[in-house]
């Protein structure tokens, strides 16, 4: 044979070339249906993709189950992804099977969904699925997802084992992210200790590691409850002072609220004077709430006059939490200055909270000042906020009842009822009315019963919330729950599901039940897939507001139902002239309510789509929710990383242009128009 005439080393080369050729040739001859697919490729126009998503939205588990063993890894990935939102334990066995899937993305998504379901019984399956042989191979994407999932369901001994594990290098980006996310989710479950804190501090000292991992490490310190940092406080303070990454520094500021050391307070106050990023300054003010008021008061109260409304509101919140009666006259003097109404209303609210009930003359004077502001104001939104500033003035409750009885505006009614709730929960209530406290509580309860029969979802929902809240002590005065069921009968499911659930919780509170039996949400709106003919993965939304425009990159592949719903509402002009009704400094701005309050939406709901999204930077765009599958028209934009929202609120986009506009928007600012574009 000619082949034998070649020397051995040449024969080897020829053999390899021929083998590769034959393998390629044979592969090309295999019918498409017989090829082994190894990649996940999501195509929203794929009819099978749309079918799987429809099954997810209908929570049709039987139909979804057939895809767990599908030859196409994309469909296995999608069915695993579906259960990250559905969160049913009945899917666990099938998800465990995918932990050994040959395709890494499928394994990773299965682990994520198991974490979302958060059953303690899943711990062993996750541990067994972790590939321990190496930390630098392609297994990292799945291993990272497993670590993350363990943080949502693992036992309290796991974090210690996790921080003592050897083999992770600074270059193991995915594993480091998974590890820090895991420790963060453990912290949210109040599983934390000084040993973990010490490990995190040492990790944060390394500046050249993955920034996202550092963000989660810092938030782990910031979000842990009752954390003892006394042995680490100066190290954390040093990290805070030297940190260049503002997203990390914001979290480190909040971590320092876990001590009251005067030296740390001085460090925070000095940084407050020099820091240029107002998001960091807002968090620093929040941290200073836990320190001595006297040393901080002069510097922080000056921020009430700041042109940056977020800083001013943070300063008002500082006074609300730790202000003292001895400085009331100074606060009142500031309240008479030229301030934005958003700031003045919050300052008056703080003043009312600080005043002891026996300062009756001053209380009457502040009440008169507030009533005059209400009388001279025409804007309903502004009035509603001044009204809420009376929430710590128990003696004003009869005036409030009369006011909202005369004004049928739904925004004023919900604001007034919320104010009554604050009054009932205030520590001054019993001091104000003494032995007649029960009598006055009953009068408020009688009024709420009339509001429950108005048929308005806001009035009903807010009134039910007050009865469900043990701090109001109203549940003790309820003899029969029939009036609650009568109110519930006037509501429509799913249009008014938030208010329906509020009544369910009120009934449970009156009956002394630990957990409310929540009404099942009616079927969600079906997705109109034909809209995909007009949009694609490059589609963006340009939000025009009275403060300027910002652009949202839409995450069509991750949450098609949410994106399609948003585009439909935008195209029909639903959001035009809607206000941003909720603004929390360095947290969120929220819009989409047709009533200018937290209630209302369209006459349908859409499903929660909770997979693959992390609030690890920002600004992200998420759907407001009152519980699983209750989303409708309201949405929010975050100011900075908010990882405590991970897996709980649908992320359907990210702001890519106009970040300064997001920071400048305040309560009452309006959306003028939304333009959907593929450019």
What is the maximum alpha-carbon separation in the chain? 115
Strand order across the beta sheet in which 635-638 lies: 580-584, 588-591, 635-638, 620-623, 651-657, 548-554, 540-545, 671-677
Q: Dihedral, CA atoms, 121, 124, 125, 126, nearest 10 degrees? A: 100
Alpha carbons 26 and 462: distance in angstroms, whole number: 69
Nearest to 42 by CA among 74, 83, 84: 74
For the entire predicted model, the pTM comes to 0.93
The confidence score (pLDDT) of residue 138 equals 60
CB contact burial 25-57 (16+ within 10 A = b; e otherwise): eeeeeeeeeeeeeeebeeebeeeebbbbbebbb
Q: What is the DSSP string of 146-170?
A: HHHHHHHH--TTHHHHHHH-----T
Bridge partners for 340 per DSSP: none
For residue 225, what are the contacts with CB-CB under 8 A and spacing of at least 6? 190, 192
**In the predicted structure, residue 24 carries a pLDDT above the cut 50:** no
- Name the phi and psi angles at 189, rounded to 5: -90, 15
Alpha carbons 521 and 527: distance in angstroms, whole number: 17
Alpha carbons 244 and 211: distance in angstroms, whole number: 11
Q: Which two tokens stand for residue 317?
A: 């919140």
State the pLDDT confidence band at 136, using cuts at 50, 70 and 90.
low
pLDDT averaged over the chain? 93
* DSSP tag of 100: T
Bridge partners for 552 per DSSP: 541, 655
Q: What is the pLDDT of residues 365-388, one digit of tens each?
A: 999 999 999 999 999 999 999 999
Q: Which two tokens stand for residue 180?
A: 């820090």
Q: Which two tokens stand for residue 445?
A: 């309860």
Task: Give how far Cα 580 sits from Cα of 427, 494, 593, 667, Å.
Answer: 32, 24, 8, 5
Alpha carbons 597 and 591: distance in angstroms, whole number: 9
Residue 532, classified by CB atoms within 10 Å of its CB into exposed (0-12), middle (13-18) or buried (19+), is middle
Alpha carbons 637 and 550: distance in angstroms, whole number: 11
- Name the phi and psi angles at 337, rounded to 5: -70, 175
Q: What is the pLDDT of residues 460-486, one digit of tens each?
A: 999 999 999 999 999 999 999 999 999
Alpha carbons 191 and 184: distance in angstroms, whole number: 9
Nearest to 483 by CA among 461, 503, 459: 503
Alpha carbons 197 and 175: distance in angstroms, whole number: 19
- Contact criterion met (CB below 8 Å) for 137 and 128: no
3-state secondary structure 212-264: HHHHHHHHHHHHCCCCCCCCCHHHHHHHHHHCCCHHHHHHHHHHHHHCCCHHH
The confidence score (pLDDT) of residue 34 equals 53
- Contact criterion met (CB below 8 Å) for 633 and 566: no
The confidence score (pLDDT) of residue 679 equals 63
Bigger pLDDT: 25 vs 266: 266
The confidence score (pLDDT) of residue 435 equals 96
Map tokens 């210690």 to a residue: 160
Task: Please give the distance of CA 678 from its chain centroid, rounded to a whole number.
Answer: 28
Alpha carbons 331 and 324: distance in angstroms, whole number: 10
- Contact criterion met (CB below 8 Å) for 674 and 541: yes
Alpha carbons 642 and 247: distance in angstroms, whole number: 10
For residue 470, what are the contacts with CB-CB under 8 A and spacing of at least 6? 509
Sign of CA dihedral 309, 310, 313, 318: negative
Bridge partners for 542 per DSSP: 551, 675
Task: Please give the distance of CA 360 from its chain centroid, rounded to a whole number.
Answer: 40
- Contact criterion met (CB below 8 Å) for 287 and 268: yes
Span 148-168, mean pLDDT?
Answer: 89
The confidence score (pLDDT) of residue 35 equals 65
Q: Angle, nearest 10°, between helix axes 194-204 and 211-223?
A: 150
The confidence score (pLDDT) of residue 562 equals 98
Helix (H) or strand (E) holding 543: strand 540-545
Span 503-520, mean pLDDT?
Answer: 97
Alpha carbons 103 and 386: distance in angstroms, whole number: 57
The confidence score (pLDDT) of residue 359 equals 97
- Contact criterion met (CB below 8 Å) for 629 and 605: yes
Residue 572, classified by CB atoms within 10 Å of its CB into exposed (0-12), middle (13-18) or buried (19+), is exposed
- Contact criterion met (CB below 8 Å) for 639 and 618: yes
The set of long-range contacts for 369-374, using a CB threshold of 8 Å and a minimum separation of 24, is 369/335, 371/399, 373/344, 374/403
Alpha carbons 553 and 666: distance in angstroms, whole number: 22
Reading phi first (left if > 0) and then psi (alpha if -120 to 50, else beta), residue 658 is in: left
**In the predicted structure, residue 11 carries a pLDDT above the cut 70:** no
- Contact criterion met (CB below 8 Å) for 555 and 653: yes
For the chain, report the end-to-end CA distance as a whole number of angstroms: 63
Q: What is the DSSP string of 577-610?
A: T-BEEEEETTTEEEE--TTSSS----SS-B----
Q: What is the pLDDT of residues 548-601, one digit of tens each?
A: 999 999 999 999 999 999 999 999 999 999 999 999 999 999 999 999 888 989
The confidence score (pLDDT) of residue 512 equals 97
For residue 28, what are the contacts with CB-CB under 8 A and spacing of at least 6? none
* DSSP tag of 381: H
The confidence score (pLDDT) of residue 618 equals 83
State the pLDDT confidence band at 170, using cuts at 50, 70 and 90.
low
For residue 9, what are the contacts with CB-CB under 8 A and spacing of at least 6? none
Q: What is the pLDDT of residues 305-328, one digit of tens each?
A: 999 999 999 999 999 999 999 999
Span 195-216, mean pLDDT?
Answer: 95
State the pLDDT confidence band at 137, using cuts at 50, 70 and 90.
low
């Amino acid at each position: 044979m000619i082949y034998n005439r070649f020397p051995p080393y040449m024969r080897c080369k020829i053999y390899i070339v021929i083998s590769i050729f034959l393998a390629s040739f044979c592969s090309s001859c295999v019918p498409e249906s017989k090829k082994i697919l190894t990649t996940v490729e999501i195509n929203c126009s794929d009819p099978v993709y749309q079918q799987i998503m429809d099954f997810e939205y209908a929570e049709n588990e039987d139909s979804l189950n057939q895809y767990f063993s599908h030859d196409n890894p994309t469909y296995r990935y999608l069915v695993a992804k579906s259960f990250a939102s559905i969160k049913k334990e009945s899917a666990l066995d099938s998800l465990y099977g995918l932990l050994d899937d040959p395709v890494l993305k499928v394994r990773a998504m299965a682990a994520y969904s198991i974490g979302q379901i958060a059953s303690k019984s899943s711990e062993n399956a996750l541990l067994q699925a972790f590939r321990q042989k190496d930390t630098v191979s392609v297994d990292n994407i799945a291993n990272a997802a497993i670590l993350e999932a363990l943080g949502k369901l693992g036992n309290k001994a796991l974090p210690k084992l996790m921080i003592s594990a050897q083999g992770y290098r600074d270059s193991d980006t995915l594993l480091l992210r998974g590890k820090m996310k895991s420790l963060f989710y453990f912290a949210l479950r109040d599983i934390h200790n000084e040993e973990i804190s010490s490990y995190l501090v040492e990790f944060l000292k390394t500046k050249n590691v993955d920034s996202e991992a550092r963000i989660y490490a810092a938030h782990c310190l910031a979000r842990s409850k009752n954390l003892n940092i006394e042995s680490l406080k100066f190290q954390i303070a040093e990290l805070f002072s030297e940190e260049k990454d503002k997203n990390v520094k914001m979290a480190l500021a909040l971590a320092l609220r876990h001590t009251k050391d005067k030296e740390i307070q001085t460090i925070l106050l000095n940084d407050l004077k020099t820091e240029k990023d107002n998001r960091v300054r807002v968090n620093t003010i929040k941290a200073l709430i836990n320190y001595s008021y006297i040393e901080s008061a002069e510097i922080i109260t000056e921020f009430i006059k700041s042109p940056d409304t977020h800083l001013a509101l943070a300063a008002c919140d500082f006074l609300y939490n730790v202000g003292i009666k001895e400085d009331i006259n100074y606060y009142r003097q500031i309240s008479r200055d030229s301030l934005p109404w958003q700031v003045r209303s919050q300052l008056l609210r703080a003043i009312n909270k600080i005043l002891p009930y026996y300062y009756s003359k001053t209380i009457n004077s502040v009440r008169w000042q507030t009533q005059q502001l209400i009388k001279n104001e025409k804007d309903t939104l502004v009035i509603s906020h001044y009204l809420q500033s009376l929430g710590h003035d128990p003696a004003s409750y009869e005036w409030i009842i009369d006011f909202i009885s005369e004004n049928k505006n739904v925004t004023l009614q919900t604001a007034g009822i919320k104010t009554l709730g604050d009054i009932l929960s205030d520590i001054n209530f019993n001091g104000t009315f003494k032995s007649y406290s029960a009598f006055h509580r009953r009068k408020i309860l009688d009024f709420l019963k009339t509001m429950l029969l108005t048929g308005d979802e806001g009035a009903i929902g807010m009134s039910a919330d007050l009865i469900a809240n043990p701090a109001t002590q109203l549940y003790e005065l309820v003899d029969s729950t029939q009036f609650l069921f009568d109110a519930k009968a006037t509501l429509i499911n799913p249009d008014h599901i938030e208010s329906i659930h509020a009544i369910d919780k009120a009934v449970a509170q009156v009956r002394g039940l630990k957990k409310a039996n929540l009404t099942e949400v009616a079927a969600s709106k079906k997705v109109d897939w034909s809209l995909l003919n007009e949009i694609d993965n490059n589609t963006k939304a340009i939000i025009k507001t009275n403060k300027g425009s910002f652009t949202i990159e839409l995450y069509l592949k991750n949450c098609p139902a949410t994106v399609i719903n948003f585009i439909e509402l935008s195209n029909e002009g639903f959001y035009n002239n809607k206000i941003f009704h909720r603004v929390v400094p360095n947290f969120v701005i929220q819009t989409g309510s047709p009533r200018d309050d937290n209630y209302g939406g369209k006459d349908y709901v859409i499903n929660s789509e909770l997979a693959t999204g992390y609030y690890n930077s920002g600004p992200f765009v998420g759907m407001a929710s009152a519980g699983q599958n209750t989303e409708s028209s309201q949405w929010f934009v975050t100011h900075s990383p908010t990882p405590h929202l991970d897996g709980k609120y649908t992320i359907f986009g990210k702001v890519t242009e106009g970040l300064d506009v997001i920071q400048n928007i305040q309560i009452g600012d309006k959306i003028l128009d939304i333009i959907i574009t593929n450019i």
